[in-house]
């Protein structure tokens, strides 16, 4: 492996890890607070990407400046959170918090099936490619390797900002503290007047918006086609499970590990590239079943 | 909950005696009716054959539901078995049908041991998602390593011999149909018996209390592994039959939509009911064949919507409704 | 001299900063039922958890009939002849009370025949008797989830007995049972245990029961055995009257 290829693999890995982390952050936040694994999270990611492409395509057609692609990404993410995340929590999940885990999984799986077809109905099966945002920021040359600013600087910066922002939000803001309190003990939280329903709704909307944001940010770097949601839910679950469910900082590290593993495999053994994330997950879980940063709790008897 | 989720135990309520309406008479009558399909409705023969093969796989998923576990990756065993059969036919052209099915079963069980030893450490979310991950691994292996697996085009699975005879297409399909029906009867019966047996009952306690199970001197993981192998074997036989019936195996066999479909049918038929698995598979395939012409674009959406309706409003599925009706009928007598 | 039935040597365990077992050395002799009393949080349940391998001590040993069972998982210790009934009953809630017992027999005898119905195992009648004995015959065909707490506790004990143990550990066996029934149930239990040659260790808060049904009493305090003796010696001891009985009253 030449130094150039090494750097390319490194940059690919970092850019990819940043995207996966953003999606996984939403997944692990929702799980941490609500104890629900949202299988439809992958669809929200895909819809975020589709929405961004549609919106920025429309903006370009109207003759607006390409730089508008960035605020439109945020708009897409917020739309995914509010228009999809909100109703999903409010109409469906709210009915099943006291049901067995398997039933909860089945419900989010059903939502996943529905949303996969929604994408097909709205956007068809034709792949989309819309790289305006990628081109708008130009390239940068590092150690003789030219790479896009978007992937090398913007994506990791957004991921890092979200990581730090989420930490700050949960620990130092009132809403964040309410969320943490509800996570610790829902009944106790309700007894001191916290509206757990609102906390759950808010958390789910934020989590869904993060999935949408991941898709929005991914849209300029990849072609958007049916099935991307299924890949992403399994991949982000791999990240979240490797870290330990509900572990935010751990998810960042594992996203990096899995992203780099995958990108190096692309250069070394391309056929196996898609297998690497799972290989890492299985290896970690074989040694630490609760994930790298998760803690096991013995049942009280 | 007992009777809601474990319809096969409905017999316990009554004194040991004659066969129950819902438990024995109806399924046998249904199978007899199906046996007439090649004579009465030859146009449906292939459809019923595929539905029953899928039903075997669904029965495998249902077995796990009995222990309160859901796998979103059981298409893995379906595909492993189908490919094992195809590889065997490639290596030994003209091999016997029995050998193909055996290869499929063996492949599924070996894969079940390898994956099972890992996934039985987990329950609930992790169990479901890790199974999904393993099926995705196998799927991308099938897609990417095309020099071994034929890639997205898959591998042809030529018609095997039957007891040393090379049959023409029509007679082979007829043999296959009745073989599938026999396997459904035999394996369905065996699975129901196993679930009612001490080992099967111990397996089902995983749903409610593993602490007590441990304090009975039983390893919960080992109990789950046995059930997991039963479910993998059922999926494997179903997959091998499907491969032989279709004459070609593709990575689509392992695709998550297949796994999701199995879970869907299991819940539709009646979560955890072996009989329900077959009823569900037949209904599913019939509706799909006739509805997909009109609703091909929204098929997944319909399934998802229907799944939500069942979970929220009819958690015992179709078999639950049949049982309620049958019990009502018996009470009236 | 034969080894004691169960022996612990210098058990120490810490949960974070809390010491839940502080150098516990205790012997349990076959045929002498031991009652464990003490204030809440003294480490009584923790002691049962360690003896059965549910949690591992930081240091120290558990010996069953002279054999070191410290590293074994609960299932292996159960197989050696230790059964346990729980403070919160641990039952298969979707199965009936009778099925819970039948499953215990199936587990004990490792029944594997895949075509034999659980309800046809030969011990079915014996298990019905066991349920009658603990006054739960009416619950035999009802799913456990429907039973009242007191009955669930008794079924939980019956399940443990179905394993034919030599040592039975019970955590507050009669809590949840109506106080008018308590003594009668305990009497039946102790009689059944004697008949089956099962030695029992039970955690108990009711001093009346301790006085009548235990041969020996161990007083727990702050993670260790503070006192040990016959019920009379212990219940008249000024420290016990102050720390334990006083609190109970």
B20 has pLDDT over 80:
no
- Domain definitions of chain B by residue range: 43-322
Residue B45 to residue C180: CA distance in whole angstroms? 68
Q: How far is CA A199 from the centre of its chain?
A: 20
Q: Which of A63-77, A78-92, B210-224 has the lowest mean pLDDT?
A: A63-77
pLDDT in tens, A109-126: 899 989 998 999 999 888
Which of chain B's residues have a Cβ under 8 Å away from the Cβ of A100?
Answer: 68
The nearest alpha carbon in chain C to B215 belongs to C75
ipTM passes above 0.85: yes
pLDDT at B19: 60
- Mean per-residue pLDDT for B112-130? 92
**How far is residue B258's CA from residue B268's CA, in Å, rounded to a whole number?**
15
Residue B304 has pLDDT above 70, yes or no: yes
Neighbour tally for A10: CB within 10 Å = 17
Q: Which residue of A has its CA nearest to C86?
A: A301
Per the prediction, chain B carries an average pLDDT of: 88
- If you average pLDDT over residues A231-245, what whole number do you get? 89
Spatial CA neighbour of C176 closest among C157, C199, C198: C157
Q: What percent of chain B has pLDDT over 70?
A: 92
B289-295 contacts at long range (C-beta below 8 A, 24 or more positions apart): B289/B47
Residue to substitute from A109, A258, A275, interface B, most B β-carbons within 10 A: A109
The pLDDT score that the predictor gives to residue C176 is: 80
pLDDT tens column, B21-56: 667 888 889 999 999 999 998 989 999 999 999 999
Q: How high is the mean pLDDT of chain A?
A: 89
Structure tokens at A251: 């998810």
CA dist B297 and B43 (Å) reads 25
Is beta strand C34-37 parallel, antiparallel or unpaired with respect to C6-15? unpaired
For residue C68, what pLDDT is reported?
96
Give the C-alpha separation, A253 to A230, whole Å: 23
pLDDT of residue C2 exceeding 50: yes
Confidence of residue B151 (pLDDT cuts 50, 70, 90): confident
Among candidate residues C160, C184, C183, C187, the one with its CA nearest the CA of residue C171? C160
pLDDT at position C242 over 80: no
> Please, which pLDDT band fits residue B5 given cuts at 50, 70 and 90?
very low
Distance CA B96, CA B89 (A): 9
* Domains in chain A, CATH or no CATH each: 3-287 (1.10.3470)
As a whole number, mean pLDDT of residues C231-246 equals 80
What is the pLDDT confidence band of residue C1, given thresholds at 50, 70 and 90?
A: low
Note whether C103 contacts B12, CB cutoff 8 Å: no
Q: In the predicted model, what is the mean pLDDT of residues A63-77?
A: 88
A chain contacts of residue B301, beta-carbon cutoff 8 Å: 113-114, 116-118, 121
Compare all CA atoms of chain C with the CA of A299 and give the residue at the minimum distance. Answer: C54
Torsion (CA) B316, B319, B321, B322 in degrees, nearest 10: -160
Residue C245 banded pLDDT, cuts 50, 70, 90: low
- For residue C21, the model assigns a pLDDT of 87
**Number of Cβ pairs < 8 A linking chain A and chain B:** 104
Predicted local confidence at residue B16, as pLDDT: 41
Fold type of domain C1-79+167-249: Rossmann fold (3.40.50)
- Predicted confidence (pLDDT) per residue in A130-150, tens digit: 888 888 888 888 888 888 989
Higher pLDDT, B197 or A296: B197
d(CA B257, CA B59): 17
CA distance A19 to A22: 5
- Phi, psi at residue C169, to the nearest 5°? -100, 125
What residues in C contact B19, CB-CB < 8 Å? none
Average pLDDT over residues C107-111: 94
User: How much is the pLDDT for A300?
Assistant: 59
Strand partners, A128: A224
Domain spans of chain C, in order of start: 1-79+167-249, 82-164
Helix (H) and strand (E) counts for chain A?
14, 2
Q: What is the 3-state secondary structure (H, E, C) of B148-159?
A: HHCHHHCEECCC
When pLDDT is cut at 50, 70 and 90, the band that residue B101 belongs to is very high
Instruction: Using a CB–CB cutoff of 8 Å, tell me whether A62 touches chain C.
Output: no
For residues C192-209, give the mean pLDDT: 92
A112 and B124 within 8 Å at the Cβ level: the answer is: no
What pLDDT does residue B25 have? 86
Report the CATH superfamily, name and number, of domain C82-164: P-loop containing nucleotide triphosphate hydrolases (3.40.50.300)
pLDDT score recorded for residue B332? 63
Query: Across the interface, do B300 and A116 touch by the CB < 8 Å criterion?
Result: yes
User: Of the segments A130-134, B162-166, B180-184, which one has the largest average pLDDT value?
Assistant: B180-184
Region C79-105: mean pLDDT is: 96
Indicate the pTM of the whole model: 0.89
Q: Do residue B298 and residue A117 have CB atoms under 8 angstroms apart?
A: yes
Report pLDDT digits (tens) over A162-182: 999 999 998 899 888 888 888
Q: Best interface-test mutation with B: which of A91, A98, A113 has the largest number of B CBs within 10 A?
A: A113
Whether B14 shows a pLDDT value over 60: the answer reads: no
More confident residue, B303 or B191: B191
Chains that touch B (3 or more CB pairs under 8 A): A, C
A251 has a pLDDT exceeding 50:
yes
Distance of residue A172 Cα from the nearest chain C Cα, in angstroms: 27
Do the domains C1-79+167-249 and C82-164 sit in the same CATH topology, yes or no? yes
Alpha-carbon gap, residue C215 to C231, rounded angstroms: 7
Q: Does A301 touch chain C (CB under 8 A)?
A: yes
Residue C92 has pLDDT above 80, yes or no: yes
| Cross-chain residue pair B217–C141, CB shorter than 8 Å | no
CB contact set of C93 (below 8 Å; sequence gap of 6+): B1, B208, B209, C143, C144, C145
What CATH topology corresponds to B43-322? ABC transporter involved in vitamin B12 uptake, BtuC (1.10.3470)
pLDDT of A301 strictly over 70? no
pLDDT in tens, C140-189: 999 999 999 889 999 999 999 999 999 999 999 988 888 888 888 899 89
């Amino acid at each position: 492996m030449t130094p150039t290829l090494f750097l390319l693999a490194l940059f690919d890995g970092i850019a990819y890890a940043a995207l996966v982390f953003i999606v996984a952050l939403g997944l692990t936040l929702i799980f941490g607070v609500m104890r629900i694994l949202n299988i439809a999270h992958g669809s929200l990611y895909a819809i975020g990407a589709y929405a961004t492409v549609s919106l920025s395509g429309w903006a370009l057609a109207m003759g607006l400046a390409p730089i508008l692609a960035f605020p439109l990404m945020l708009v897409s993410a917020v739309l995914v959170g509010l228009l999809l995340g909100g109703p999903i929590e409010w109409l469906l999940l709210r009915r099943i918090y006291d049901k067995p885990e398997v039933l909860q999984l089945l419900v989010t799986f059903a939502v996943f099936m529905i949303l996969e077809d929604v994408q097909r109905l709205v956007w068809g099966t034709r792949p989309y490619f819309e790289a305006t945002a990628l081109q708008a920021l130009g390239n940068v040359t590092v150690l003789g390797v030219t790479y896009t600013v978007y992937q090398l600087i913007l994506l990791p910066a957004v991921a890092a900002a979200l990581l730090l922002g989420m930490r700050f939000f949960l620990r130092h803001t009132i809403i964040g503290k309410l969320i943490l309190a509800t996570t610790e003990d829902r009944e106790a939280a309700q007894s001191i007047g916290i509206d757990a329903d609102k906390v759950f709704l808010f958390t789910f909307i934020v989590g869904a918006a993060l999935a949408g944001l991941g898709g929005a940010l991914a849209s300029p770097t990849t072609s958007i086609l049916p099935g991307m949601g299924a890949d992403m839910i399994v991949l982000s679950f791999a990240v979240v499970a490797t870290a330990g469910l509900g572990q935010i900082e751990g998810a960042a590290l594992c996203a990096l590990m899995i992203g780099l593993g995958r990108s190096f495999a692309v250069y070394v053994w391309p056929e196996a590239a898609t297998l690497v994330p799972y290989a890492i997950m299985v290896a970690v879980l074989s040694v630490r079943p609760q994930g790298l940063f998760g803690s096991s709790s013995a049942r009280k008897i | 909950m007992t009777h809601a989720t474990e319809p096969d135990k409905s017999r316990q309520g009554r004194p040991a005696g004659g066969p129950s309406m819902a438990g024995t008479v109806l399924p046998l009558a249904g199978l007899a009716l199906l046996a007439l399909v090649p004579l009465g409705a030859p146009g449906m023969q292939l459809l019923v054959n595929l539905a029953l093969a899928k039903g075997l796989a669904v029965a495998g998923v249902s077995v796990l539901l009995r222990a309160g576990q859901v796998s979103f990756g059981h298409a893995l065993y379906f595909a492993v078995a189908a490919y094992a059969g195809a590889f065997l036919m490639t290596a030994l052209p003209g091999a016997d049908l029995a050998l193909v099915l055996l290869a499929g079963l063996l492949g599924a069980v070996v894969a079940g041991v390898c994956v099972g030893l890992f996934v039985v450490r987990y329950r609930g979310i992790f169990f479901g998602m890790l199974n999904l991950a393993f099926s995705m691994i196998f799927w991308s292996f099938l897609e990417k390593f095309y020099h071994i697996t034929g890639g997205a085009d898959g591998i042809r699975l030529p018609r095997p011999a039957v007891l040393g005879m090379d049959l023409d297409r029509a007679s082979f399909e007829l043999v296959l149909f009745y073989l599938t029906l026999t396997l459904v009867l035999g394996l369905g019966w065996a699975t129901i018996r196993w679930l009612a047996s001490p080992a099967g009952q111990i397996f089902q306690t995983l749903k409610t209390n593993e602490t007590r199970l441990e304090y009975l001197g039983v390893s919960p993981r080992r109990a789950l592994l046995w059930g997991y192998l039963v479910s993998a074997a059922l999926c494997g036989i179903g997959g091998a039959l499907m491969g032989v019936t279709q004459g070609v195996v593709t990575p689509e066999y392992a695709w998550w939509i297949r796994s999701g479909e199995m879970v869907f049918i299991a819940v539709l038929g009646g979560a955890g009911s072996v009989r329900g698995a077959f009823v569900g598979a037949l209904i599913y395939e019939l509706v799909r064949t006739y509805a997909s012409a009109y609703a091909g674009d929204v098929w997944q959406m319909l399934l998802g919507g229907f799944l939500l309706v069942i979970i929220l409003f009819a958690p015992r599925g179709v078999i639950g409704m049949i049982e309620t009706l049958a019990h009502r009928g018996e009470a009236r007598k | 001299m034969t080894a004691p039935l169960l022996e612990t040597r210098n058990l120490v365990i810490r949960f974070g900063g809390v010491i839940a077992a502080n150098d516990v050395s205790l012997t349990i002799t076959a045929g002498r039922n031991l009652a464990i009393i003490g204030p809440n949080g003294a480490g009584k349940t923790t002691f049962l958890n360690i003896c059965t391998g549910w949690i591992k001590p930081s240091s120290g040993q558990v010996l069953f009939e002279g054999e070191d069972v410290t590293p074994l998982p609960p299932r292996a210790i159960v197989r050696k002849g230790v059964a346990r009934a729980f403070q919160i009953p641990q039952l298969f809630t979707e199965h009936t009370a009778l099925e819970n017992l039948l499953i215990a027999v199936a587990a004990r005898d490792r029944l594997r025949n895949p075509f034999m119905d659980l309800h046809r195992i030969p011990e079915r009648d014996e298990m019905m008797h066991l349920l009658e004995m603990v006054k739960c015959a009416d619950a035999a065909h009802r799913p456990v989830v429907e039973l009242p707490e007191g009955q669930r506790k008794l079924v939980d004990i019956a399940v443990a007995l179905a394993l034919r143990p030599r040592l039975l550990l019970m955590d507050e066996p009669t809590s949840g049972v109506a106080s008018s029934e308590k003594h009668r149930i305990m009497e039946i239990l102790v009689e059944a245990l004697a008949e089956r040659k099962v030695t029992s260790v039970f955690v108990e808060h009711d001093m009346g029961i301790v006085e009548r049904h235990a041969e020996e009493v161990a007083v727990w305090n702050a993670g260790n055995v503070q006192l040990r003796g016959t019920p009379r010696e212990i219940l008249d001891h000024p420290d016990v009257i102050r720390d334990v009985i006083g609190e109970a009253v």
